[in-house]
Structures are given as C-alpha cells and as structure tokens.
Amino acid sequence: MTATFALARTAAALVLLLALAGARAQSPAAPRVLDSLAERTLPCTACHGAQGRASPAGYLPRIAGKPAGYLDNQLRAFRDGGREHSGMAHLLAPLSDAYLHEIAGHFAQLELPYPPPEPPAAPPAVLARGEQLVRQGDPARRLPACTSCHGAAMNGRLPAVPGLLGLPRDYLLGQLGAWGNGLRRAATPDCMAQVVQRLSADDASAVASWLASQPVVRTMPEAAGGPAPPIDCGSGFR
C-alpha cells in the first residue's frame, strides 16, 4: 500500500467516524449539527444502499426492517469478533453498546418496499430441492425446516431472528460457509452452526439459490412467541 493510499484511507475512515459521532460541520457558512440518526448513519448507507435497502445483486445485506434485536446482536458481534469484517469492525470499534442499540433501532423501524428478486441462478430441479429443504427440512439428516425458526413467510421473528428473503445468493452462501468454518458465531448454543453441519455443500447452494429467487411477501418480522425452535438457540428467541 502506498503512503498516499494509506493516508486517503485514514482520511475516509475519519470522515465516517466523525459522521457517526455526530460531529459539527466545520464551515462557518453552514454551521449545523448532524443530529438525526438518519444523517449520522449515512456512512452505513454508502455500503448498505440508501436507507439500508441494499440490492438483491452483489454481496451486501439489506439492514432496513430487520428485527432490532438481531441488528443489535450483529453490530456487537462485528465490533467484538463474533463476526469478521474488518471495515465494519473499524467503524464500530469506538461505539458504545448504547449507541449500537440506537443505530439498530433506527434501521429496524424502516418499513420500505423490496425490489424484485434476481432471476433464479440454478436449474428447476435444484430450486425444487432448495424449496423442499427450506419448507420441510430433511429428516434423514435431522435437518429442521428453515421456516420452523425463520417464519412461514421467511420474514423472521421478533425479537432477533432475521428473515431469509431479499438477500443476495452470494451473501447467503457466504454466511452458511462462515458458520461452517467457525468465522461466524452466534451466542451458544449456536443453533445455526448445527443447522449448517447438517447441510451438504450442494444443499446449501440449492437453498441459497431458491431463497435468493423468491419475492418478499411480508416485509416486517413476525411477532415474538409462536412455537419453540426445534433446536435450542442462544440467540434469536430471547
């Protein structure tokens, strides 16, 4: 890395941090304070799309409308090491639990439309296998249906289970892979790690292809309560 590039990166990081900190603008002509959370979280939307909507293409996850408890858990995981992403970790390192909680609450309450999904990236037989695994699981492998925890409409559940639709295929595959190799960890007992152990690589790919090709029917998560998860979970339901 050249010195100039390093300097530019440091400067960019500083601008992001100042915005998150709600810094005052320096110009006397326009003295104003970045006071609303929508303004303060503009650095987040540089990557996650306007208002945190992302897009079904590429790799970035949508954050708008996800359960507040889920977003809160993820922000702390990036800051503290349960999830790995150096950019997110640097940005969040100086922020307190209370501020992360506020940021999570801000994105969680945004009820915004979803764009249509990407065209399916797999042949019909693979998509059918993916749908079957999501809705019914695979008793031979003791794999529960994904819908048993993520909701029948796959829209997630309060307080902290995320929905599975409206995410890029590569992101879904990336997360399943990260649980498989221990780079992503949720609170113990980590039920998603167990789910992933029971999923072959081909099945993970089928599931991701099918999920990514589905339109979003219900944009906000289900209420808390409902049936207990088929595997005990340290996060998501409490």
Q: Which is nearer to ligand HEC, 56 or 236 (CB)?
A: 236
Cα separation, 97 vs 111, in Å, equals: 24
Nearest residue (CB) to ligand HEC, 29 versus 226: 226
Query: Does 9 engage in binding with ligand HEC (CB under 6 A)?
Result: no
Cβ 27 to ligand HEC, closest distance in Å?
A: 24
3-state secondary structure of 138: strand
Distance, CA of 136 to chain centre: 24
| Per-residue DSSP letter, 182 | T
81 binds ligand HEC (CB under 6 A): no
Q: Is 231 in the site for ligand HEC (CB under 6 A)?
A: yes
> Helix or strand or coil: residue 221?
coil
Q: Which is nearer to ligand HEC, 27 or 143 (CB)?
A: 143
Nearest Cα neighbor of 168 from 89, 63, 56, 78 is 56
Minimum CB separation from ligand HEC for residue 30, in Å?
24
The answer to whether residue 127 forms part of the interface with ligand HEC (CB under 6 A) is no
Assess 87 for contact with ligand HEC (CB under 6 A).
Answer: yes
Question: Which residues sit at the interface with ligand HEC, rule CB under 6 A?
Answer: 20, 41, 43-44, 46-48, 60-61, 63, 71, 73-75, 83, 85, 87-88, 91, 103, 133-134, 144, 146, 148-150, 161-162, 164, 167, 172, 174-175, 186, 191-192, 195, 199, 207, 229-231, 233, 235-236
